[in-house]
Chains A and B, each alone.
Chain A
């Protein structure tokens, strides 16, 4: 089965840039989606199809995908960006989620 690997945690200073990676075999050939989940809340879509932002998501959130790694970038990090982030792809009609990354804003 297809697996997606993310770092357990990422720390970023207030106002700086955080990068969250999502590793998978030839993930560059798939569409990657990213979700933000705050404690006690349902996930929210922040990036779809590698690099597209849904309406209402700040431009500070961006994404890229190539080779074996997809990356979610949070620029000018704010305290409100503290959350768990999950990448997701579809593989053989099955949704696969990454292991999740906890982002801490210092």
Chain B
């Protein structure tokens, strides 16, 4: 059974860079059938897609966040990562890592990790 697990600091200071890693187990991140991505959800609000990456390194980002986002992949560790720079309180959210399948739906999600931006 595929599992995704987010890890990283739960508290980040304003203007600093948020960094999260997603570890994939029970399957290979190098499969040609899938994209891997990040989705976030501010407290009490809806879902927002941040971006996706293919195992080869090709990336797609939400235009509204593109200038601050970097997603990378480490196939040797079966992990992919998110960096979001110059964070503000508006970036406080539960961050989910997830898998997009060939049919374009998101079929596996991590449990989510709350990141709070505060001094």
A residues whose Cβ falls under 8 Å from a Cβ of B: 1, 31, 33, 35, 42-45, 48-49, 54, 86, 88, 90, 93-100
Given A33-B104, A94-B62, A97-B48, 15 new contacts (CB under 8 A)? A33-B106, A42-B112, A43-B109, A45-B106, A45-B107, A49-B103, A88-B105, A88-B106, A93-B60, A94-B60, A95-B39, A95-B100, A97-B46, A97-B49, A100-B46
- When A42-B109, A42-B110 are in contact, do A90 and B104 touch as well, CB less than 8 Å? yes
B47 contacts chain A at the CB level, 8 A cutoff: yes
- Roughly how many angstroms separate A93 CA and B49 CA in the complex, as a whole number? 11
Chain B: how many interface residues by the 8 Å CB criterion?
Answer: 22
- When A93-B60, A94-B62 are in contact, do A48 and B47 touch as well, CB less than 8 Å? no
Q: In the complex, are the beta carbons of A100 and B47 less than 8 A apart?
A: yes
